[in-house]
Amino acid sequence: MKLASLITTFIIAFNSLLNAQVTGYTGDTNPCPERVYQYGLVGVTCGPITWEALGGTIVSAASQTVNVIWNKEFVNNGQWKLRANYTPQGLNGACGASTFMDLPMNVKTVSSFNIGGESAIPCGFRGTKNYTASMRNPSFPADSYKWTTNTGWTTTTTSPTVPLIFDSDNIKWLEVVGYKDECGVFGTPTRLNFTSTYPVTPTVAGPNCFETNGTYTLQNLPANSSIEWLVSGPVAIAGTNSDMSVNITKLSDGVGAVRAKITTPCGIINTAPKQIYLGKPQSVGILQFKNENTNALGYWCSTHFGNIIELEEHDPNLTYEAKLLSYPSMTLVKPVTIVYPNSSEDPFGYLPAGWYILEIRSLNSCGSSDWVGYEVELVDCY
């Protein structure tokens, strides 16, 4: 029995030898990027080999060899590889099953970086700030670091930290790229963009509404800066648009806006638009009655709190008032109160079941819209 088992094992091993004659690769597995390297498959195959280069470019291929240029950019955190797809031929000349063989590569490239340091720079700052390049992949260190700014300043360091002198307001970004001495190749550059900050944010002050005209003033103008006033909607600028204050006139009813475009030594700032109501607000538009606790839609619940109002065109800059009358007697049930549409606040609390008229209007400092009434039913929602 032992002899038969040994003979069976020998036959299996011998057949494997006959049918698997590809034993490996030839070629450099520690290549420099952006150079041509040749690789070959050791063994005999049936038919041609098809090659794949993950993280590389195949330049040319012959019957048993391939020429590859490896990329300096990282693949799956540094997993370059060459794959040969082939059909092996055994010593007996028979073709085996199609298979593949991978050859991992350790490309001598350089990691990209994260740049540590302040990116928000006060406008007008003059002085030095330090910046440090930290490797995203420590397995691929740089031998030196080349630093560059948009102004043309550049320096090379062997330390990952560089002092940057801010001698003007024109420095907008800092870039670093690693260098590999052995291969004479740079890695992928990393850039840190700078933003300018100001001691106080410029804002536009003035009335929220007017009937004919209004005056608006820029507050907190940065030093050595100029102004250009811009408007939108049914309003126009009367007079100059480059002084600290500007006069705005009404062209028609509606809503307009004014903002300031400020040119500073560090760049352009646009203030937030200030909305202007031209006269009293328009009538409240379409609304919906809901109960947020029962998901009731189109009516309110007499058995639950959470009755709310949703406006199709809700303006958070307006104040809203509402009152509730019984129907059909039109007796006042709930006096005028401030309400908060499109929020979770129940305007009136518990009410008995029945039909009511909700009257609602909007207000600003120029006046109020007309009251608008809507029928609403309160029902038992259990």
> Which secondary-structure segment (H or E) carries 38?
strand 36-42
> Is the pLDDT score of 23 beyond 90?
no
- pLDDT tens digits, 246-266: 999 999 988 899 999 999 999
Q: Which residues pair with 262 in a beta bridge?
A: 227, 269
Which position has the higher pLDDT, 322 or 20? 322
pLDDT at 17: 42
pLDDT at 15: 42
Please name which of 297, 267, 248 lies closest in space to residue 168, comparing C-alpha atoms: 267
> Is the pLDDT score of 2 beyond 80?
no
pTM: 0.61
- Only one residue has tokens 């009136």, namely 348
Q: Cβ(234)–Cβ(282) under 8 Å?
A: no
Kindly report the average pLDDT of the chain as a whole number: 90
Q: Cβ(161)–Cβ(149) under 8 Å?
A: no
Q: Domains in the chain, start-ordered, CATH in brackets? A: 19-105 (2.60.40), 113-197 (2.60.40.10), 203-278 (2.60.40.1080), 287-379 (2.60.40)
* CA dihedral over 15, 18, 19, 24, signed as positive or negative: positive
pLDDT at 90: 78
* Cα R_g (the chain), whole angstroms: 38
- Only one residue has tokens 């890695």, namely 187
Q: Cβ(54)–Cβ(103) under 8 Å?
A: no
Q: Is 10 in a helix, a strand, or coil?
A: helix
pLDDT at 14: 39
- pLDDT tens digits, 164-187: 999 999 999 999 999 999 999 899
